[in-house]
Structure formats: structure tokens, C-alpha cells
Chains A and B, each alone.
Chain A
Amino acid sequence: MSLVDLLLEPLNYPFMVRGMLAAIMVGIVCATVGTYMVLRGMAFFGDALAHAILPGVALGYLLGGGARGPLFWWGLVTAILTSIGIGALSRGARIKEDTAIGIVFAGMFALGIALISTVRNYTADLTHFLFGDVLGVTSTDLWLTGIFGGAIVLIVLLFYKEFLVLSFDPTLASTLRISSRFFDYLLYVLVAIATMVSLQTVGVSLMVAMLITPAATAYLLTRRLPVMMALAATIGAASGVIGLYLSFYVNMASGAAIVLTATAFFAAAWIGRTVQGAIQNRRLRLSHPSSN
């Protein structure tokens, strides 16, 4: 079997094609918002938000008698409400932000598991929510992913300069009278929608990897924000595709395969950077032997 056959073989299955398309879109969308999350140190927020949508999805699942269709909307509403809730809680500042996030995160996640566990034989569905089910993506799912994902990318591009100023220098943003409250909440809501869009691809447990890992990899490789964003989107999409091939041929869980691919990209970039830095330091020391 040639390499081309190896690459084309999985595409004979329509569910693989749909899975690939979903993984590519999710990779791009998550990496785009993820770029700002990495720059602003919001990794824990992303992880918490992903877990916190579980009760919403669970409620939709119970009320709909297991039907898949309405789950997207239940999850979307929960994600948006939770993101605004966490934002308000951390602005209220009676307790530290990461403490507030930790409490909401674990509480909501427990509620979700509790709700789903009331159904007999719940493990299969719970597994799908937790770890994703990218091969079960329907064409309706694809449309929703495309529309909401496209909207996220569009909004990030439209408010590029405002998000840039707020992330780099919040003080400048306030002297320029850019509303940090409005744009912070807008970013939270964008992350919430990205989370919901990715639910079926990687599940809530691995979501944070799609948001953070490709963007962090790109951060190591470039010093320009537009390049970082484009690179992160490319790495995210590539992780989706390579991960799905992996899961097809090695027969492992698709969400895990996608995340492991993204992690491998990061590891390669990190090792490359570290080695490069060590070589540069050595050269510097050799050319200035006295300055130690």
C-alpha cells in the first residue's frame, strides 16, 4: 500500500470525512481565541469553562431523552452563562480569581456527572461528553460548527486592535477609553462558544489542550501576533487531521489522538527552542570569555 493509498483510505468513509472537517474547523477556531488566552494567562479559565458546560449538556440530554440535536444549544447557553458568571465572580474580588474559578469548575462538573448518572447505562454517553466523539459528527453539527466558528474568527479579526491593546497594556486601553469590561466579557463569550463548538471533537476533559497547546506552540516559534495566530490555527488544524489518521490506523480514541498530536508539536517546538537557546548562549560565552 503506497503512502497515497494510506492517506486516501480513511476518506472512503463519510464519517471520517465529516470528522476531518470538524477537527480542522475546531483546530482553527480554538487556536484563534486560544492565542489571546495564552497571552493573558487564561488556561485555567478555559479548562474550567469546558468542564462547567457539562450540567447544561446533561440537562438537555435528560430532557431530550438522549436526542443529540438540542444538546448544542443547551451547552451553548450554559457556556455563555458560566463564562459571564466566572467573570462577574472574579471582578467581585471577595476571593482570588483562580479560587473562584476552581469552585465553579468543580461544582458544575460534579452537577453534570450527577445528572447524567441518574440515567441507567450512562457510561457510553458520558464518555462521549468527556472525551469527544468526532466520528459521530453529523452534517448538521458541521453546519453549526462552521457558522459559529466562522463568527468567532470574524469577531476576533474585527476587534483585533482592541483585543491587542487590552492584552498588552490594560492601562493604555483605559486611557484610550476602550471598555475593558465589554471586551473582557466578549472574549469570555467567544471562548464559551469555541468550547461548545469543540465539545464533540475532543470532549470537555481535553478541550483546554485545543485552546492552549497550538497557541503556546506558535508563541515559541514567532514574535509577531498575526503570525502567531495564523501559525496556531495551522497547528490546530494539522493536529486534528494527523490525530484522526492516527486514531484510524492505530485504533485509539480520536480526541486523545488529536490532543497527543498537538502536544507532540509543542514538545518539538520547545525542544527546538531550548537547544537553539543553549547554542546561542554557548556562542556568546565563547566570543566573550571574560564576561561571566
Chain B
Amino acid sequence: MSLKSLRKTSLIQRVSPPGAPHNPAAPILEIANLSLRYNGSYALDNISFTLNSGQHIAVVGPNGAGKSTLFKVIAGILPATSGDVKIAGGGPAGHICIAYVPQRSHVDWRFPVNVADVVMMGRVSRMGLLRWPRPRDWELVHHALQEVGLDDLAGRQIGELSGGQQQRMFIARALAQEAELMLMDEPFTGLDAPSQEAIFSILETLKGRRVTVLIAMHDLNLAAERFEEVMLLNHRLVGFGKPEQVFAPPQLRLAYGDHLHLVGAGDEWLALGDTCCDEGEQE
């Protein structure tokens, strides 16, 4: 059978599904009693929460609290030991609408690709097997690059980008993927204030489009100042809600233990953390 005739059959269509169907009435993410045991201890312990379209949540917790692990279970990359993850009413396995934005330190920046190549990777499953990018794919890639302000760097080798530009490139890839749920792993780590602001303004446009975003971070101040809702994680879900409620001394002590020193009394208190930063969690 020649390649051309093979293409005409419906086989190829079935091999490359456009993604699992969505139930518009169901919440975009629903997690119930999720646990993951790893080497005999709980990396994630009985976690339950629900997110609706357009919610942006900062996920905060000490190093090794299971933030990356939680994201990987939601994305369907790691299997849960028990409990349920539902994406728009179904299991995560068939969905290609979940984007995982990796930590910059986990990427091979010497890989021979340019910015547009990386963003086009987000289109791979939408194109399907045995197909090359069509004009519509290029359009979406350029549009995504415009949205994150990288259109004039499309031909740049990825190693030549600054940290903030690298982060925006991965967000553009998630846009090209037409993701409805974005999981960002420490996007602000190591960025200066202007680069962080650039990402916050992109997050604003995402909110307008009702894209749901979970952002792992370790900076309590940034989370409290810039997010309406935060999640405090330390294997268990310690708190989820408004920052002023979640980041209260009892919860913080529960999440950070001896790594956090609380100074002051009553409403006036200061949290001094000594967990830091970059090299994130064990996988």
C-alpha cells in the first residue's frame, strides 16, 4: 500500500485522536483522595480539591513537598497509587489539553532547535502521525509567540535566550498546544522583577481566556501578593483558599516545620524561611 493511499484511510485519524472529549458541565480539574506512595512513604497523601476554568492558583510548599509530583500525576505522566484525577469529567490519559511547563534547570539548552521549533512541538499531537505542519499550525505558532512577545526571536537558538524569555517560550508552547490546564513548575525562580512582571501580564491574558493555571513556587510573599488563591502543600494539602487565611501561622508551621521561623504576635507577624530555591524536588 502506498503512503498516499494509507493516508486516505481512516486508520491515521484513529491513531491520532484530537484528545479525549470534554464534558462542559464538569470542572476542568477534580481530584479526590489522591495518594502516591514512593519508596515506602507518601509523596502525596490523600489530596482532594476542585478547580474551575480560569482559576489561577499558586502552589507553595517546602522543597520536596510533592509539588512537581502532584503536577505529574495531574498531567497523567505518573500513576497515582490511589484516588482519582478527572480532567473535564474524564481520566487524564487521553487528554492533550494539559500543558506541563518544565523547570528551566531541567532542560537541555544546547539542543539544536530554535524558539519556533520548540513552540511547534506543542502542535505535534494536533497534527497527527505522518503529517507535517500546515499553514494553520504555523499561524498558531506565530500567534503564540506574539502573545508572549517573542515574535522577533522566533529564529533564535534556545540557549541564547535570557531566563525570562526561556520561560515565555514554554508558555507559548503551551498556547500552541491549545492547553486548557497549564501546570507551571517554578516559573519565577531565578528571574528578575521585570521578567516576572512579563509573565504576570501573560497570566492576565490567560485568565481572560479562562485557561486554568497551577503555578508551583517557593516565594510566599509573591504568592500572597499576586494570587487571589493559594495552595499550601507538604505531601498533604495543608490549606487552599485566600492567602490571608492559608498563610496563617498554624498552617505555615504545619507545612514548613522547623524550616520557618515566625516572628511577632497577633495579626502582625513575619515569616522567615530558610528553604530555597532553584533545584526543585526529587522526582
Contacts and interface: CB of A to CB of B under 8 A. Distances in A.
Interface of A: 39, 158-159, 161-162, 164-165, 167-169, 171-172, 174-178, 219, 222-225, 227-228
Please list the 8 inter-chain residue pairs (A to B) with the smallest Cβ-Cβ separation, ordered nearest first: A223-B157, A176-B125, A174-B77, A225-B112, A175-B75, A161-B124, A223-B112, A165-B121
B199 interface: no
Contact of B121 (A159, A164, A228): A164
30 contacts: A39-B112, A158-B130, A159-B129, A161-B124, A162-B124, A164-B113, A164-B117, A164-B121, A165-B121, A165-B124, A167-B111, A168-B108, A169-B121, A171-B75, A172-B100, A175-B76, A175-B96, A176-B122, A177-B96, A177-B125, A178-B124, A219-B112, A222-B112, A223-B114, A224-B113, A224-B117, A224-B157, A225-B112, A225-B117, A228-B112
Interface of B: 72, 75-77, 93-96, 98-100, 102, 107-108, 111-114, 117-118, 120-122, 124-125, 127, 129-130, 132, 157, 159, 173, 177
Nearest to A154: B3
B107 A169 contact: yes
Given A219-B112, A225-B113, A228-B112, A178 B125 contact: yes
Given A162-B124, A174-B77, A224 B102 contact: no
B108 A171 contact: no
Contact of B96 (A164, A171, A176, A222): A176
A175 B121 contact: no
A168 B118 contact: yes
B99 A175 contact: yes
A18 B102 CA distance: 50
Nearest to A225: B112
A225 B112 CA distance: 5
A127 to B, nearest CB: 38
Q: Is the interface of A mostly helix, strand, loop or mixed?
A: helix
A135 to B, nearest CB: 36
B124 A168 contact: no
A161 B117 CA distance: 10
A159 to B, nearest CB: 8
B124 A174 contact: no
Contact of A168 (B75, B99, B111, B159): B111
B137 to A, nearest CB: 10
Given A168-B108, A169-B107, A175 B100 contact: yes
Given A158-B130, A177-B125, A178-B124, A171 B111 contact: no
Contact of B76 (A165, A172, A174, A223): A174
B6 to A, nearest CB: 11
A175 B124 contact: no
B100 A224 contact: no
Contacts of B112: 39, 219, 222-225, 227-228
A144 to B, nearest CB: 22
B48 to A, nearest CB: 23
A125 to B, nearest CB: 41
Query: Which of B77, B112, B125, B159: most chain A Cβ within 10 A?
Result: B112
Contacts of B121: 161, 164-165, 168-169, 172
Contacts of B100: 171-172, 175
B124 A176 contact: yes
B16 to A, nearest CB: 9
Nearest to B20: A177
B68 to A, nearest CB: 10
B127 A161 contact: yes
A169 B103 CA distance: 12
Nearest to B185: A171
A172 B177 CA distance: 10
A39 B113 CA distance: 11
